[in-house]
Chains A and B, each alone.
Chain A
Amino acid sequence: MTRSPRLLSVAAVLLLAGCSYGAEAPDELASPTASTSPDAEQTVAPTSAAPVTDEVEQDLDLALSTPVEDSVYPDVGDPRVDALLYDLDLTWDPLGRRLTASAVVTFRATRTAPRFQLDLAPGLTVGDLRLDGESVGFARRGTNLLVRAPVEADTRYELTLDYAGTPRPAPAPTTRNDFSTTGFTITDTGEVWTMQEPYGAYTWYPVNDQPSDKALYDITVRAPAPWTGISNGRLTGLDTRDDTTTTSWQLTEPASSYLVTLAIGDYTHSSNTTADGLRVDYWTPRGMVLGLDRVQSAAASIDWIESKLGPYPFDSLGLVVTASQSAMETQTMLTLGNNEYVLSPQVIAHELVHQWYGDQVSPADWRDVWLNEGMTMLVQWIYQDEHDLQPLSDSVAAGRADDQGLRDQYGPPGAYDPRQFGGSNIYTSPALMWNELRVAVGDDEFFRIARSWLDAHDGTSVTREQIFDHWESETGRELSAFFDRWITGPTTPRRGITKG
């Protein structure tokens, strides 16, 4: 937000400064669909039945990962577990605010160990728990579900458990003003939404809640009709009987747990199509009118992003609008809050860019969340420039003006204060860094390298060392000092790519 000059009187501050926050958002936003050539295929169908596709057999080998202990949030996750498939069956009672669930977690033990653990909120009561069909002992230690059964390295197991309770969101390690908790969130009329970065999936299912462990998902949600449960991937079942709507969702490309979403409410479905023929599903609250056209700008934004980063990396795409105040790049199903800022075309474009930078290729450790936000912020700035929302030069100038204060307050983007997750330092500073490289090598070469990075690491979780190596080998330049200054340095680097 803009700072008000201290010389202004109180009244002048009130009259002049207004209440908008997000200084870069102009009052009137051109819809991207309006500024690209109108295309009959992009006409939005009125409220429509949601297309259901057949369930397929999951290919567990796709989900093999190398889990690590997180350096920023080591209390969450267990590197002994490599989850392959979460098969969840969730029944939601909005009046009783009660979740009744069963989970089958298929995992690979990464090492031979006398016990292992998943994350699960202590407020959820666990009933029957079995490992490969055998009842085994377990203990709860805070958010850890400790399973007292030996496992052998590189062997696959099925952990089955029932659990129930009223899920509560987890305190978020941040001072951001658009969220203070993560995970399963219940509105005052019993709807559900989730946003769970950097962790918080454990508020509603047993999970290895750390981003290096990507896994597949089969999620079934039962909710009182006409409410509908929404999750990631393709809709493979939709059935209403006995006043209950049952939806089944299948995510067939592996995702980190922070990219999983669940939303339950009175939703209607509509869709449109990208130029390449990808259907984009919109799940919006029944009766929502204002902002709907902005949400449906997603198809045109995908066309634009594909011109920079290459083809959309997944085989389905949807957006769900919830009562959040933020917006989240949950894989193949964006979770959007409901205010003018998060429903603006450029914020939706931001979450869509994350499908490439963040979801297709994810950070292995939360120290590298800047890998997601830096490139995405730069692409959002370019989007704003090319859609006449804000010139790139203005975004860069504003970013440079903010950079030092952000480093002072939150730390460098690659060594941030763990209590300040998601500060603007992980967005602005690395966006400025990537922009210097873009200026140095030119747009065509910049995006060629940005695409080749995604191709080389498709479906995996990565570290900063890997991306540094990639850019050095692709550009033929020695960039280690450049990267270090931007990512872990205490002061704003000078412009350009200086040697040494």
Chain B
Amino acid sequence: MSNSGDYGVALAPDDIDALARSARDGDRDALETLLAELRPRVLNICRGVLPYSGDAEDACQEAMLNVATKIGSWGGRGRFTTWLHVVSVNSARTTYRRLKNLATPTDFEDGAHDRPDPRTTSVIAGTRLDLLEAMDTIERDHPQFVEPLLLRDVYGLPYDEIAALVGAPLGTVKAQIHHGRKLARPLLRGER
């Protein structure tokens, strides 16, 4: 197996939570240590969404900045790493939207190809363009479905953790995920 690129002492989940609490309460050293520690993890999350390293690193950079500036909003309800997941995936989505807006559409001006073809930008290639597009589509009418769906189907978090994280009852979260999946499925399969 490939070496993981881990060359030092990793922190246990409890240590990360303790460090995050200190950072949230204004300890600057704790914040620096926390950011250095979490960077590979955040990059991995971003790579799961954006396949090409340059994009993922942009998103990672944005996520690190968001963690540094918004850590005060972490409620301490669950693991810090769970909150970190949400911040990271949202940063990746923001980065993706920005990249998409920067790109000049030249070839496909008839509008027939306004969505990347999932067959040529396969999820298995690590490319989640179709997924991101699907989430953007769903978000227009059902913004509340997006986060639970990503947390469940991309990050595999258990339902109860998602419920705690988004602050909604378990039944509501399950229903949101169920409806979100129904909406996402045709978008992912290119059958619109």
Query: Which residues 4-18 in A have Cβ within 8 Å of B in the complex?
Result: 4, 6, 8-10, 13-14, 17-18
Contacts of A326 in B (CB 8 A): 1-2, 4
Q: List the A residue with the shortest CB-CB distance to B7.
A: A402
B153 within 8 A of A: yes
B26 within 8 A of A: no
A287 to B64, Cβ gap below 8 A? Answer: no
For A327-358 the 0/1 string (1 means CB < 8 A from B) is 11100000001111110000100110000000
B3 to A177, Cβ gap below 8 A? Answer: no
B35 to A339, Cβ gap below 8 A? Answer: no
* Given A24-B5, A188-B188, A323-B123, 12 further pairs, Cβ under 8 A: A6-B29, A17-B36, A19-B56, A21-B40, A176-B6, A189-B122, A266-B124, A323-B126, A327-B1, A340-B52, A342-B2, A422-B4
For B7-44 the 0/1 string (1 means CB < 8 A from A) is 11110000000000000000011011101100111111
B57 to A20, Cβ gap below 8 A? Answer: yes
Q: Interface majority SS on A: helix, strand, loop or mixed? A: loop
B42 to A19, Cβ gap below 8 A? Answer: yes
Q: List the B residue with the shortest CB-CB distance to A263.
A: B124
Contacts of B123 in A (CB 8 A): 187-189, 191, 323
Contacts of A4 in B (CB 8 A): 32, 35-36
B94 within 8 A of A: no
Contacts of A286 in B (CB 8 A): 119-120, 122
Give the Cβ gap from B25 to chain A, nearest Cβ, in Å. 15
**9 A-B residue pairs with CB within 8 Å:** A6-B29, A6-B33, A10-B28, A10-B35, A177-B44, A178-B4, A193-B124, A287-B119, A287-B121
| Size class of the B contact interface (CB-based, 8 Å) | 35 or more
B125 to A338, Cβ gap below 8 A? Answer: yes
Contacts of B119 in A (CB 8 A): 266, 286-287
Contacts of B130 in A (CB 8 A): 189
Contacts of A25 in B (CB 8 A): 5
A13 to B32, Cβ gap below 8 A? Answer: yes
B6 to A423, Cβ gap below 8 A? Answer: yes
A187 to B40, Cβ gap below 8 A? Answer: no
| A13 vs B57: C-alpha distance when bound (angstroms) | 14
Contacts of A20 in B (CB 8 A): 43, 53, 57
Q: Which of B3, B122, B124 contacts A424 (CB 8 A)?
A: B3
